[in-house]
Amino acid sequence: MVAESSHDLPNELQDLGNSPSRVTDPRIRHEISRAAVWTGVIGLVVLAVYIARPLLVIFGALVFASMIDGGARLLARILPIGRGWRVAIVLVGIVGFFYWLINFAGATISNEAAQFPEIIQAQLNELVSWARAQGIQISQDQLQSYAGDIGSGISTITTALGGLFGAVTTILLIVVIGVYVAVDPKLYERGVAWMMPRHKRDDFYATGALMGFTLRRLMAGRLLGMFVEGVFTYILLAHGGKLIGIGPVPMAALLAILTGLLAFVPNLGALISGVLMVLVGFSGGVDMGLYTVFVYLFVQNFDGYVIIPMIAKKTVDLAPALVLAAQLVMGILFGILGLFLADPLLAMIKVALQRRAAETGKDELQEMPADGS
């Protein structure tokens, strides 16, 4: 018995094979595929909005782990002991530094810190008086309004990551996760690689190693810059003025510590510390104010033209305007933590893109015919 072909079947029986959910028109299938892609993109964006803050905390932990890992690797050159012991030494050093900063340095500059707001307010009043003398009309109401707007903007930028337990819990999570990752980074690296396709794992390991190297170098340069700026600022403010007959600048220790800590945030941190330094300097007269301007420019130029290029040769060079834009966006979206992590995140994105571009170029060279045609 010969089977009947589909052309011999009645139209009613042919229609039974075409399910209502089956689309045969290639144009309609193409549009459906495009809609599915856009739906997936929108879903990923919505998901990213909800999980951005936890991911930022995890990235902050990785940055902290890279700093610990860099210290442990540095100790490995002089101490032939296990990695766990080297990590413990680094952690003890970090705790000891903050203990000194809170106790000894805090007790030394507590009186200066109490006088700091009064000096800043007095200098702002003198600045307003000078502006009025030049014919610029600034009323007290306008000044208060501007101050309120600035305070509102600062509070918006410096809003810490929200959460159930607040900023303290966020910092604690960063520290705890960072310590766990620093103790055994290979464990977590293998765990992430296990979730990836087998043919992508080698590329993941190579990219991860390059990112880790870049992040360690970037944080080492940041810490070195903080140390250099803090020490140079203190020496020049406390002792440099004596050489030209000006005398020590008030609150030299406080200004040095603020300059060093704010150096962790490129561009914005230097601007804030510079403004505070100059305002305090002019409280001691015009000569002292001009001297603080010189100190600020000297320290920032030394850091910008010596320290940063020395580190950037071995890491990734970031455009200052791009870093500043990333800091503003991350600061507004995620608060003070986003502000701190803007440039490390930008550096990691740049490394990933460069790595991807290099792999793409290598694949294109492999596919190119031998004669180059």
Residues in contact with 106: Cβ distance below 8 Å, sequence separation at least 6, in sequence order:
none
The pTM is what? 0.67
CA terminus-to-terminus distance, the chain? 59
Burial group, residue 367, by CB count within 10 angstroms (0-12, 13-18, 19+): exposed
Q: Is residue 133 part of a domain?
A: yes
- Amino acid at position 201, single letter: R
Tokens of 158: 């410096």
**368 phi-psi bin (left φ>0, alpha ψ -120 to 50, beta other):** beta
What size, in residues, is the chain? 373
* Amino acid sitting at position 354: Q
Neighbours of 77 (CB within 10 A): 7
**Is 66 inside a domain boundary?**
yes
In a domain, 30, yes or no: no
The structure tokens listed for 105 are 């340095």
Residue 76 lies in a domain: yes
Residue 259's domain spans which residues?
Answer: 35-357
Q: What is the pLDDT of residue 244?
A: 77
Is the separation of the CB atoms in 292 and 195 below 8 Å?
no
Is 53 contained in some domain?
A: yes
In a domain? residue 284: yes
- What integer pLDDT is reported at residue 6 of this predicted model? 46
**Residue entry with tokens 């300097």:** 281
- The answer to whether 208 and 189 have CB atoms below 8 angstroms apart is yes
How many domains is the chain built from? 1
Q: What is the pLDDT of residue 2?
A: 47
Nearest CA to 336 among 160, 185, 118? 160
- The ranges of the chain with pLDDT < 50 are 1-6, 9, 12-17, 19, 150-165, 365, 368, 372-373
The dihedral sign for the CA sequence 15, 20, 21, 27: positive
pLDDT value, residue 373: 46
Cα–Cα distance, 209 to 203 (Å, whole number)? 10
Look at residue 168 and tell me if it is in a domain.
yes
d(CA 349, CA 320): 16
Reading the block at residue 365, the tokens are 């060279």
What is residue 91's predicted lDDT score, i.e. its pLDDT? 92
R_g over Cα of the chain: 29
